[in-house]
Amino acid sequence: MTVVGTSRVDVSCATARFCGAVGAGGQASVWNGSTWARPVSLGPAVAPGSPAPAIACAGPAFCLAAMGNSVMAWNGVSWAPSASVPEAQALACASPRFCTVVSGIGNAYVFDGATWSGAFNAWGGPSSISCTTPSFCMAAIGGASEWDGSAWSRPVDVDPVGVIDAVSCSGTALCLAVDSVGNVLVWRGASWSAPVPLHPGSGSASSAALTALSCTSTTVCVVGSADGAVSSWNGTAWSAFDVVTGDHALVSLSCVASGFCMAADSAGGVVWSSGVT
């Protein structure tokens, strides 16, 4: 279903009973476990060529949404301005007391629950960030870059055959990344594995760009593709692809430990499932 317009949507779930969504048309909505609220305007539509909107929710009373040059905060009732970040491009929250947002020119800002600090050098505009603690984040910034609580490391090119589209960490010892040619990379606390095809030799879907990723534990991850399909990982193997959004690319996935996942596509469609275990 469509919840915030017919353009690209980003979603983030704190629990199976609370998610937030923001769309490139400038609107946001929240999910209560069964329905989406009427969308509200956070500002003008994102201009063509500008970074897509991003959202991170760490609880029913806390979300941040980055759109254009603004970061807006949800307090459980309404949205209000939180920070001004020129060309805000990607954000992530480990909790309501730690979030980071990075601009398209590589300036990173940190929220501690009350105030913002920055700008830290993040080496470029990321396509994806995942944070699990205030001292650990991983980002795809033309390569893999790590936040240690005070600075971002210089990006390392860990994928010689594709471009990393999304990264997701379930702790400080496991992250997965997916790329533009259908590969998965695994980080286990020290270094990245070589890129490996998600489903080698399985037909056209095996080489489709992998565009979204969400991990909830060391044995549960879900990936979305440019073909609108999802595949889940149990720690050792990936399931067959299941098409969930037709021909539209999945651009955002957010799963929680209860087995609930929310997925959004490039045309504004949002679907959910409680069947991921």
Please, are residues 235 and 219 in contact by the beta-carbon 8 Å criterion? yes
Report, as an integer, the average pLDDT of 11-38: 95
Digit-coded pLDDT (tens) for 40-83? 999 888 888 888 899 999 999 999 999 988 999 999 999 999 99
Nearest one of 72, 147, 165 to 108, comparing CA atoms = 147
Q: Give me the mean pLDDT over the 128-139 stretch.
A: 97
**Three-state SS at 244:** coil
pLDDT band at residue 207 under the 50/70/90 scheme: low
User: Minimum mean pLDDT among 24-28, 127-131, 245-249, 258-262: which range?
Assistant: 245-249
- Residue 74: the pLDDT is 98
Model confidence over 229-262: pLDDT tens digits? 999 999 889 999 999 887 789 999 999 987 899 9
Residue 275 binned pLDDT confidence (cut-offs 50, 70, 90): low
pLDDT tens digit sequence for 72-126: 999 999 999 999 998 898 999 999 999 999 998 889 999 999 999 978 898 988 9
The pTM for the full model equals 0.93
CATH architecture classification, 158-277 = 7 Propeller (2.130)
- The closest alpha carbon to 87, from 46, 45, 26, belongs to 46
Band of residue 277 on the pLDDT scale cut at 50, 70, 90: very low
The conformational region for residue 182 under phi > 0 = left, psi -120 to 50 = alpha, else beta, is left
Strands (E) across 107-160 are located at: 107-111, 116-121, 128-133, 136-140, 144-147
